[in-house]
Amino acid sequence: MLYLLWAWLMTPGPYHSALRLGWVGLRVRESPFPLPSGREERRGQGRSCWSDRRTHNENAPSFAAGAPGPGRGPRITSQMEYFGTISIGSPPQNFTVIFDTGSSNLWVPSVYCTSPACKTHTRFQPSQSSTYSQPGQSFSIQYGTGSLSGIIGADQVSVEGLTVVGQQFGESVTEPGQTFVDAEFDGILGLGYPSLAVGGVTPVFDNMMAQNLVDLPMFSVYMSSNPEGGVGSELIFGGYDHSHFSGSLNWVPVTKQGYWQIALDNIQVGGTVMFCSEGCQAIVDTGTSLITGPSDKIKQLQNAIGAAPVDGEYAVECANLNVMPDVTFTINGVPYTLSPTAYTLLDFVDGMQFCSSGFQGLDIHPPAGPLWILGDVFIRQFYSVFDRGNNRVGLAPAVP
């Protein structure tokens, strides 16, 4: 994940309620249920709507989360973050988490953790849950600029109406350093394949499928570009919502099961192929804020769009957005084009407009890499369906 973290549609009848959150701390809204029936993709149970927030914290931590391995680069100061609420235990204890397709573990802080990062977040209290058990296993996850360790617990985990029984999860006992201190979330819920899971635990979505909690073995992601004035972001377990995208989904095979890894045909800048002329690999990662690629390629890309380094980030003149080139990722023969307004992030610094680049260099070495990461900058523009039943990713233009 790049925060950097290295980290339903329904048929008529009974259905689970849906929570839709707007901007953090402002309002709670009802989801648009019931949905039209009669189409298979309009089946499913759980809708978890994310909080959407633009951050302005220049001192916010930089870290990577998820499975052990290559870290991810430093966090940009202006970006959207997407959170959701889950509950663990009986009675339920609520936590704010990032739903991360780039990792596979669920973890939250433990009440026994005394690290500064834990003191600023909600901590799980096992003694307060009548359904808790402890397998007795320890875990440790190393991040790009931080780490955490603790014990594995097991309890029921609920995600907006869907309750997984006996879910193993990490209870962090130590979160050294400043990595998580200023994070807006308590923990991470990984949605990657089981092979990424630290400690060999079964991921939450795998248990949802095994316990028949979802009609279809898929989940989908809609990241709103304008949650203040429009529809909020939404994660759907068990299906997808056609109202969030236009046209038809284009299905792309997963090339390696771990991350949601797919093949890129090429990458074009201004209509000319600049990268991956013979194909390359990428992962679709909800836990990564930007789009990343090999640092030498990203440097060329920054130059091509007219971005220059400013205080450790790359930025462009906001006045130039209308003359900057489009960037197109061709995937399985289909072009996915990002306009300059889509691949830049607008912020205000000292009262002045600041347009930072949505691209960032990140070298992921073999055997995992090299990889491009299609993070939130990409997913905001293209509705994404993660189909475990057929090991494929569906993409279509998102409806703003």
DSSP string, 130-199: TT-B----EEEEE-SS-EEEEEEEEEEEEETTEEEEEEEEEEEEE--SSTTTT-SSSEEEE-S-GGG-GG
- Its CATH class, for the domain covering 243-397, is mainly beta
Which residue ranges of the chain lie beneath pLDDT 70? 1-81, 143-146, 227-230
Contact by Cβ (8 Å): 55, 26: no
The per-residue pLDDT for 46 is: 57
Phi and psi at residue 131, to the nearest 5°: -110, 10
Fold of the domain built from segment(s) 19-237: Cathepsin D, subunit A; domain 1 (2.40.70)
pLDDT tens column, 317-355: 999 999 999 999 999 999 999 999 999 998 877 778 889
CA atoms within 13 A on the CB side of 358: 28
Contact by Cβ (8 Å): 106, 169: yes
Nearest alpha-carbon partner for 259 in 369, 349, 360, 379: 369
Catalytic annotation, residues = 100, 285
- pTM for the structure as a whole: 0.84
The per-residue pLDDT for 142 is: 75
| Helix or strand holding residue 117 (H, E) | helix 116-119
Contact by Cβ (8 Å): 382, 395: yes
Domains 19-237 and 243-397 share a fold: yes
Give the start-to-end residue ranges of the domains of the chain.
19-237, 243-397
pLDDT tens column, 65-94: 333 333 322 222 334 668 899 999 999 999
Write the secondary structure of 305-321 as one string of H (helix), E (strand) and C (coil): HCCEEECCEEEECHHHH
The per-residue pLDDT for 162 is: 95
pLDDT tens column, 266-299: 999 999 999 999 999 999 999 889 999 999 999 9
Which residues lie below 8 Å from residue 154, measured CB to CB, with a gap of 6+?
Answer: 132, 133, 134, 135, 166, 167, 168, 169
